Amino acid sequence: MDQSFLIMLSNLLHLQNQLDPTTTTTTTTTSPSSLLTTTTSAAPLLFFTIASVLSYISTRRKPPSSPPLSPSTTSQFSVSAFRALSTERIWAMEAPLRDAQWRSLYGLSYPVFTTVVDKLKPFIALSNLSLPSDYAVAMVLSRLSLGLSAKTVAKRYALEPYLVSKITNMVTRLLATKLYPEFIKIPAGRRRLQETTASFAEITSLPNICGAIDNTHVRLHSLPDHLLNPSVYVNQFGYNSVELQVVADHKKIFWDVCVKAPGAFDDASHFRESLLYNRLISGDIVWEKVVNVKGHAVRPFIVGDWCYPLLSFLLTPFSGNRTGNPAQNTFDEGLMKGRKVVMDAIGLLKGRWRILQDMNVGLNHAPQTIVACCVLHNLCQIAREPEPELWKEPEENGAVPRLLESEKSYYYFGESLRQVLADDLYQRLSSR
Q: What is the pLDDT of residues 17-35, one digit of tens each?
A: 554 544 443 333 333 333 3
- Strands 209-219 and 296-298, sheet pairing: unpaired
Cβ neighbours of residue 384 closer than 8 Å, sequence gap 6 or more: none
For residue 66, pLDDT over 70 is answered with no
For residue 44, pLDDT over 60 is answered with no
> Residue 394: pLDDT band by 50, 70, 90 thresholds?
confident
Q: What is the pLDDT of residues 334-371, one digit of tens each?
A: 999 999 999 999 999 999 999 999 999 999 999 999 99
> Residue 38: pLDDT band by 50, 70, 90 thresholds?
very low
Give the pLDDT of residue 14.
Answer: 52
Q: Distance (Å, rounded) from C-alpha 134 to C-alpha 121?
A: 8
pTM of the model as a whole: 0.81
Q: Distance (Å, rounded) from C-alpha 157 to C-alpha 184?
A: 31
Q: What is the pLDDT of residues 309-341, one digit of tens each?
A: 999 999 999 987 888 899 999 999 999 999 999
> What mean pLDDT comes out for the span 235-257?
97
Q: What is the pLDDT of residues 213-225, one digit of tens each?
A: 999 999 999 999 8
Sign of the alpha-carbon torsion through 328, 334, 335, 339: positive
> What mean pLDDT comes out for the span 153-178?
94
- The conformational region for residue 39 under phi > 0 = left, psi -120 to 50 = alpha, else beta, is beta
For residue 5, pLDDT over 60 is answered with no
For residue 385, pLDDT over 90 is answered with yes
Give the pLDDT of residue 31.
Answer: 39
What's the full length of the chain, in residues?
Answer: 432
For residue 255, pLDDT over 70 is answered with yes
Give the pLDDT of residue 13.
Answer: 52
